[in-house]
Amino acid sequence: MTPPLLTITDVAVELPTPRGILRAVDDVDLSLQAGRTLGIVGESGCGKTMLSRAILQLLPKKAKLSGRVMFDGQDLVQLAPESLRRLRARDLAVVFQDPMTSLNPVLTIGTQLMETLQEHLELDTPAARKRSIELLAAVGIPAPEQRLAQYPHQCSGGMRQRIAIAIALSCEPKLLIADEPTTALDVTIQAQILDLLAREQRRRHMAMIIITHDLGVVAGRADEVAVMYAGRVVERAPTPMLFKRMHMPYTEALLAAIPKLETAPHTPLPAISGRPPDPTRPLKGCSFAPRCRYATSRCREAKPELTSAEMADHLYACFHPIKMAEGIGA
Amino acid sequence: MATLELSMQDEVAAAPVRHKRKLGLLFWIASLWLAIVLALAILAPVLPLQNPVDMDMLERRAAFSSEHWLGTDGLGRDEFARLIFGARVSLTVGLIAPLIGLGVGGALGLLAGYFRGRFETLVVGSMDVLLAFPPLIFALAVTAYLGQSIPNLTVILGVLGIPAFMRVARAATLSLARREFVIAAEALGASHARILLRELLPNVILPLLAFFLLGVAVTIVVEGALSFLGLGVPPPMASWGSMIGEGRDSLDVAPRLAFLPAAGLFLTVLAFNLVGDTMRALTDPRQGAL
Amino acid sequence: MLNFVARRLLAILPVLLAVSLLTFLIASLLPGDLAMVILGDQATPENVAALRHDMGLDQPLWWRYLSWLGHVLQGDLGRSFRTGQTVLQAVGERIPVSLELMLMAEFIGLLIGVPLAIACAARAGGAFDRFMTGSAFAMLSMPSFLLAILLIYLFAVELHWLPATGYVPFTEEPLANLRFFVLPALTLALAEWPGIMRVLRSDMIATLQEDYIALAKAKGLKPSRILFVHALKPSSLTLVTVTGINIGRLLGGTLIVESIFALPGIGRLLVGAIYTRDLVILQGVVLLVACGFVIVNFIVDMLYAVLDPRIRHGHA
């Protein structure tokens, strides 16, 4: 088997806050093969965005990063800034959550597309312009030539996210990180954007990490899913396997929180009670224990490690994994 | 809803959040300096100082001596006494003028921010007209008509400060007027006067007072500039500005005559700015800290 | 865009009218009768009354305002009874001096303030940033007449490098003209840069936190391009506003600096008019300066729109 495109080992991110050190990402290991898709799922504040920023080397200045991020044979953490800069866009691209804030409001769309092409592919202006028009057309923007002279505020949210995707795709990256690419968009646009991403990924044979709080988003689109809670990966498995038999009570709760069509009207949604623990005061035991209906005294005393039981590629961190028979509806 | 375990956790977590805001060494040095200058200025008439307007043509620009601690100026007047009486003038104008701005501007801003509507449009509009005049030019023009005297100067500089105080008060009121405690008071049937005085004023007064200190600094500078041009306090009265203006003529032979009052003016303005800025940071409604 | 300009123009008309009324009232209501001033202390009451009648000073106030305003709108702001010059002539002669001074000062101020702001924002919280922020704060407490005295002492009295006072027109001796302008312009610029730096710095720091800066980094752009194009352009909006607001202070500073360095500009004309109690010149200059100030602020508003596409397209 070829070595993975991306392997992250023992990655931890610590942020100083007025309340103390916040351990936003807590010893995470992940890997991703070229051309595959990894979904990272968790509720807000679980550290999934910080993890993506750690991979991208775009953490806030105050943040402390430890561990290794091996990408295409190089450790991004150790890489010199100039080498890292050359690798960006060409090998490693990103689409941020909110297209309203991720495009520069005072630069035209053309400038924002063409500057990337000119920086990395050394195209001259007419060539960069031609390529920008092709890219805009590829992400489904009508009349792309006119768009080049426009500013972001003249486009709708969905349109802006398409532009952001065009920018990310412009230099044919090997890995695209999509950080909640649809959260800020209308429901009707969400599926279109996700399908666009999936289509372009297949066409360009690009690896992708989709970060989301919605298990439904990764269901049909990711090859593997990692569920994060309080800075740690608590369950990781190939997507079909995860949905067939999840082991972690948190994953179960996440899935149960998605509203379903077949549910009768006026049924209260089974929301996850409580809030995630304060990340500046780590618990001794399992972070999910205070909210978990299966928790025992053992869960409050010790932290379960990420291990696999019957299946080698299905990892989970729980002392009381959900048994097959209990399933989702238990 | 949060479970029982979580609420216990919250209590544990909340304890270390409180941290004291340090005012810093500079703040205390600046306060000390202001206290000394203020004390000297207030006590000037009872201190054993020489008469600041007594001229001695035989001892012009005399050097430092036991008789004249800081020497004498171009007309043989005691420099030390003039410095302290100058502080008296600069501080009188500098403190009273912003009080006018604080009172009138603060009240207008509070009313405009609370009642909104036509009244607010009128107040903001007339302030815009006042702001259309570059402040120093307005002050100069009006002094020219009214005549030079300390009360005139104080009133003019006070009027000039009204728009700025109005803006601060209005902004603070606007941000407060829709808060729960005001709405609650309205719902309980409190009168406008009661809401304005009991609910809004105590919250608006803090940012206004912080701004007042910055206003003092600005006023001292403008008074200094006018007096420097010979259009502020009437001679032979001393103000720091007029002393610097007089000292300018002897920069080549006795630069201290300009630099001593200049240092006094600079340090005092800096001290007011420092203290005012610290207070402003503490009372900034956006940070919600007191 | 045209619609936007028209709306703003309509909004400043009442302000201009109110400015003219206020200028008129200051001159008319405050003590100090023009006829008394002109005739001096020796005037008999009959002479004063005759002159008052000739000048229309015995008419009702509203009538005097309207007729004054009528003359002003036709470009007649009156004539100095001391020099015989009209207000427009006097101002026209001196405007180039004041403009040269202000432009030079603003240019030097931006030249000092903008690079410092960028350097501070790029390493916010670092030693250089803390030092410069502190220096700027101290400089803000330094009025321009203090700076003028310091510069004169240093460069004219001690070092003899530059003249302390004087003026020749640029058209006659360009180099000598510039030499005379160095100290006054530097004085004003030294008072200007701290404000420019502080505002631009804090705005740049805020801009550098934006998502689109993170995206620009993720795009692998050069740090210089991120700083100067992606961060400076949106931040420069605030800079334009500040420059606009500062013009009032700059005008005041010009007045002082022109007096100190004996530059024959508007400020000196005004101060001279006060010394000689030339009330017609005084009133005219105050009116023109205030109107100019309103119009400059209007232009700054327009500049704002040119720089920010969101405002230009009526989205904000």
Q: Do A18 and B19 touch (CB under 8 A)?
A: yes
Residues A144-169: pLDDT tens digits?
999 999 999 888 888 999 999 999 99
Instruction: Please check the confidence at residue B8 and state whether its pLDDT lies above 50.
Output: no
Residue C112 has a pLDDT of 93
Chain B interface mutation, best of C10, C36, C149, highest count of B Cβ atoms under 10 Å: C149
Summary mean pLDDT of chain A: 85
Please give the Cα distance from C222 to C218 (Å, whole number).
11
Residue with tokens 């390529």: A131
Instruction: Please check the confidence at residue B207 and state whether its pLDDT lies above 50.
Output: yes
B119 close to B112: Cβ distance less than 8 angstroms: yes
Name the strand (E) or helix (H) holding B156: helix B150-177
- How do strand A232-238 and strand A315-316 relate by DSSP bridges? antiparallel
Residue of B130, B225, B273 with shortest CB distance to C140: B273
Q: Is A223 on the interface with C (CB under 8 A)?
A: no
Q: Looking at beta carbons, which residues of chain C come within 8 Å of A92?
A: 218
Handedness of CA C34, C40, C45, C46 (dihedral sign): negative
Q: Is A215 on the interface with C (CB under 8 A)?
A: no
Q: State the average pLDDT over residues C118-140.
A: 90
Residue C217 has a pLDDT of 92
Q: State the average pLDDT over residues C17-34.
A: 76
Q: Print burial letters for B174-204: b (CB count within 10 Å at least 16), e (below 16).
A: eebbeeeebeebeeeeeeeeebbeebbbebb
B76 close to B58: Cβ distance less than 8 angstroms: yes
Q: State the average pLDDT over residues C310-314.
A: 61
CA angle, residues B174, C10, C304, in degrees to nearest 5: 65
Instruction: Please check the confidence at residue B7 and state whether its pLDDT lies above 50.
Output: no
Q: Is A178 on the interface with C (CB under 8 A)?
A: no
Residue with tokens 């302030």: B127
Q: State the average pLDDT over residues B185-212.
A: 83
Residues A71-108: pLDDT tens digits?
988 999 999 989 999 999 889 999 998 888 899 988 99
Residue B5 has a pLDDT of 32
Tell me the count of A-C CB pairs closer than 8 A: 76
Residue B12 has a pLDDT of 34
Residues C216-251: pLDDT tens digits?
999 999 989 999 899 988 887 777 777 776 777 788
**Higher-confidence position of A61 and A55:** A55
Percentage of chain C modeled with pLDDT above 90: 16
Chains that touch C (3 or more CB pairs under 8 A): A, B
Q: How confident is the model at residue B31 (pLDDT cuts 50, 70, 90)?
A: very high
Q: What are phi and psi of A14, to 5 degrees?
A: -115, 135
Q: What are phi and psi of A304, to 5 degrees?
A: -75, 140
Q: State the average pLDDT over residues C191-213.
A: 89
Q: Which residue from A34, A108, A42 is spatially nearest to A250, judged by alpha carbons? A: A42
- Residues contacting residue A137 through CB under 8 Å, at least 6 positions apart: A144
Q: Which amino acid would we find at residue B239? A: S
Residue B10 has a pLDDT of 34
Minimum distance, in Å, between the CA of residue B214 and any CA atom of chain C: 10
Summary mean pLDDT of chain B: 80
Name the strand (E) or helix (H) holding B159: helix B150-177
Residue A186 has a pLDDT of 81
Residue with tokens 């801009």: C207
Q: State the average pLDDT over residues B144-154.
A: 84
Summary mean pLDDT of chain C: 83
Q: Which amino acid would we find at residue A224? A: E
- Residues contacting residue B247 through CB under 8 Å, at least 6 positions apart: B73, B74, B254, B255, B256, B257, B258, B259, B260, B261, B262, C149
Q: Looking at beta carbons, which residues of chain C come within 8 Å of A88?
A: 217-220
Q: Which residue from A245, B265, A256 is spatially nearest to C149, judged by alpha carbons? A: B265
Instruction: Please check the confidence at residue C288 and state whether its pLDDT lies above 50.
Output: yes
Q: State the average pLDDT over residues B16-33.
A: 71
Q: Which long-range contacts (CB under 8 A, 24 or more apart) does B282-288 make?
A: B282/B21, B282/B210, B283/B206, B283/B207, B283/B209, B283/B210, B284/B207, B285/B172, B285/B175, B285/B176, B285/B203, B285/B207
Q: How confident is the model at residue C313 (pLDDT cuts 50, 70, 90)?
A: low
Q: State the average pLDDT over residues C144-153.
A: 89
- What is the fold of A6-91+173-259+269-316? Rossmann fold (3.40.50)
**ω before A279 within 30° of 0 (cis)?**
no
Residue B6 has a pLDDT of 31
| pTM recorded for the entire structure | 0.79
Residue A328 has a pLDDT of 44
Residues in chain C: 316
Instruction: Please check the confidence at residue B1 and state whether its pLDDT lies above 50.
Output: no
3-state DSSP call for residue A179?
Answer: strand
Residue of A278, A290, A291 with shortest CB distance to B13: A278
**Higher-confidence position of C289 and B7:** C289
Residue with tokens 């101020």: C109
- Residues contacting residue A124 through CB under 8 Å, at least 6 positions apart: A118
Instruction: Please check the confidence at residue C196 and state whether its pLDDT lies above 80.
Output: yes
Instruction: Give bridge partners of residue A227 from the DSSP assignment.
Output: A41, A235
Q: Which residue from A298, A315, B237, B247 is spatially nearest to C148, judged by alpha carbons? A: B247
Please give the Cα distance from C192 to C243 (Å, whole number).
9
SS3 letters for chain C? CHHHHHHHHHHHHHHHHHHHHHHHHHHHHCCCCHHHHHHCCCCCHHHHHHHHHHHCCCCCHHHHHHHHHHHHHCCCCCECCCCCCEHHHHHHHHHHHHHHHHHHHHHHHHHHHHHHHHHHHHCCCCHHHHHHHHHHHHHHCCCHHHHHHHHHHHHHHHCCCCCCCCCCCCCCCHHHHHHHHHHHHHHHHHHHHHHHHHHHHHHHHHHHCCHHHHHHHHCCCCHHHHHHHHHHHHHHHHHHHHHHHHHHHHHHHHHHHHHHHCCCCHHHHHHHHHHCCCHHHHHHHHHHHHHHHHHHHHHHHHHHHHHCHHHHCCCC
Instruction: Give bridge partners of residue A74 from the DSSP assignment.
Output: A71
Helix axes C266-275, C232-261, angle to 10 degrees: 40
Instruction: Please check the confidence at residue C126 and state whether its pLDDT lies above 80.
Output: yes
A227 close to A42: Cβ distance less than 8 angstroms: yes
Q: What are phi and psi of B158, to 5 degrees?
A: -65, -45
Q: State the average pLDDT over residues C173-181.
A: 83
Q: Do C31 and B147 touch (CB under 8 A)?
A: yes
Please give the Cα distance from C52 to A321 (Å, whole number).
103
Residue A114 has a pLDDT of 93
- ipTM over cut 0.90: no
Residue C316 has a pLDDT of 40
Please give the Cα distance from C304 to C234 (Å, whole number).
11
Please give the Cα distance from B264 to B241 (Å, whole number).
10
Q: Do A280 and B9 touch (CB under 8 A)?
A: no
Q: Which amino acid would we find at residue C39? A: L
Which chain A residue has its CA at the smallest distance from C215's CA? A102
Residues A215-270: pLDDT tens digits?
888 888 889 999 998 888 888 889 888 888 888 888 888 877 776 667 677 777 66
Instruction: Please check the confidence at residue C148 and state whether its pLDDT lies above 80.
Output: yes
Residue of C220, C222, C309 with shortest CB distance to A106: C309
DSSP secondary structure code for residue B51 in this structure: P
Which chain C residue has its CA at the smallest distance from A97's CA? C211
Residue C310 has a pLDDT of 66
Q: Which tokens is C3 given?
A: 């619609």
Q: Do B13 and A281 touch (CB under 8 A)?
A: yes
Q: Which tokens is C245 given?
A: 């607001």
Q: How confident is the model at residue A131 (pLDDT cuts 50, 70, 90)?
A: very high
Q: State the average pLDDT over residues C29-45.
A: 67
3-state DSSP call for residue B231?
Answer: coil
C57 close to C33: Cβ distance less than 8 angstroms: yes
Name the strand (E) or helix (H) holding B248: helix B240-248
Instruction: Please check the confidence at residue A42 and state whether its pLDDT lies above 90.
Output: no
Q: Looking at beta carbons, which residues of chain C come within 8 Å of B161?
A: none
- Give domain limits for chain A: 6-91+173-259+269-316, 102-170
3-state helix, strand, coil in chain B (%, to 5): 75, 0, 25
**Higher-confidence position of C191 and A255:** C191
3-state DSSP call for residue B106?
Answer: helix
Q: What are phi and psi of A26, to 5 degrees?
A: -125, 95
